[in-house]
Chain A
Amino acid sequence: MHVDKTTLAREFINLIPQARALQLEITEIRDGVAVIRMPYDAGLVGDPDTGVIHGGAVSTLMDTCGGAATMAHPSNPGGTATISLRIDYLRAATPGQAIVARAECHHVTRSVAFVRATAHDDDAENPVATATGTFTVEGAA
């Protein structure tokens, strides 16, 4: 029987209170890859002079997306926690536009999952941020 991973992931993300508060929506999930969308919200603005979303909200989006990609990796048996995350802010996200993060878990050892991620607004060719992260592999000896 085919289990729809995206449906399961949607249910999973709805159980995370902070993901719900940010209205995060998983739009794609498959082996080691996750795509999550965060709609624009005036409550998340970090610079009241420009209306640009705070970097902290982008951190949460990137962290959630990296964790989802790790859990979606076929060799990861269970849950995960972030060990470290580095984000480079390439440009200000355009006010009024959703931010979409795409994370790829590109390598998994017995204990550590390595993740790369990018985030963009409506201009998908021109990312607003890139990130690299390391995540725990649960259930490892």
Chain B
Amino acid sequence: MSRRPPEPVQVVKQRRDAALAALAERVPYIRFLDISFDRRGDELTGVMHYDDKLIGNPHLPALHGGVTAAFLEVTAIITLSWGLLWEDVESGVLTLDALEAGELPRLPKTIDFTVDYLRSGLPRDAYARAHVTRSGRRYASVRAEAWQDNHSRPIAQAHAHFLMPRKES
């Protein structure tokens, strides 16, 4: 029996990047905060590009705590959705054409969100990663952390619960 040859790397990358773009770029609030996602395999890092309008304390100056919380929530939702989408993208159930036409699963809904502020956010780009602790049929539990210059010096951490979108049967 012969194995199917692996797909060319460019085909794989194009499909995955298109899926990620379709997921994140259609949310107006993600554009409002100018958040993009770096992808390495299935691992995502959120990048919140600095803009003066993100400031909450003009005297320090520091990022608005609400913006930092929002960045963590956005990263948690996209990471959780990406995990759900990944299998369908890889198996070809979701095609590139379908993704570009906006045929995506509904987004998880936030049930509760808790953020701890560890350091004030500097007026520069911030990064965040989320870790899905448990992704069940109805509920999911997610941790996230944000940092700037040093990953070992996080500016905030969060944990949250989400209601998962119903799978169309």
Contact = CB atoms under 8 A, between A and B. Distances in A.
A84 B106 CA distance: 29
Contacts of B112: 86-89
Contacts of A21: 32, 53
A15 B109 contact: no
Interface string B41-74: 0000000000011111110000011110111011
A49 interface: yes
Contacts of B120: 81
Nearest to A56: B70
Contact of A48 (B26, B52, B64): B26
B25 to A, nearest CB: 10
Contacts of A43: 28-29, 31-32
A77 interface: no
Contacts of B28: 42-46, 48
A84 B74 contact: no
Interface residues of A, number: 38
A53 B67 CA distance: 14
Interface residues of B, number: 36
B27 A15 contact: no
B89 interface: no
A55 B168 CA distance: 25
A63 B58 contact: no
Nearest to A49: B106
Contacts of A15: 58
Given A17-B54, A82-B117, A46 B29 contact: yes
Is chain B's binding surface mostly helix, strand, loop or mixed? mixed
A18 B69 contact: no
B113 interface: yes
B111 A45 contact: no
A16 B29 contact: no
Given A56-B71, A87-B113, A47 B107 contact: yes
Given A64-B66, A89-B112, A56 B29 contact: yes
B116 interface: yes
Contacts of B133: none
From A20, A56, A79, name the one whose CB has the most chain B CB atoms within 10 angstroms: A56
Contacts of B66: 18, 56, 59-64
Contacts of A47: 27, 106-107
B106 A16 contact: no
A83 B55 contact: no
Interface of A: 15-21, 42-49, 53-57, 59-64, 67, 79, 81-89, 92
Given A18-B66, A59-B115, 17 more contacts: A16-B64, A18-B53, A21-B32, A44-B32, A46-B29, A48-B27, A54-B70, A55-B73, A60-B64, A60-B66, A60-B70, A63-B65, A82-B65, A82-B117, A83-B116, A84-B115, A85-B69
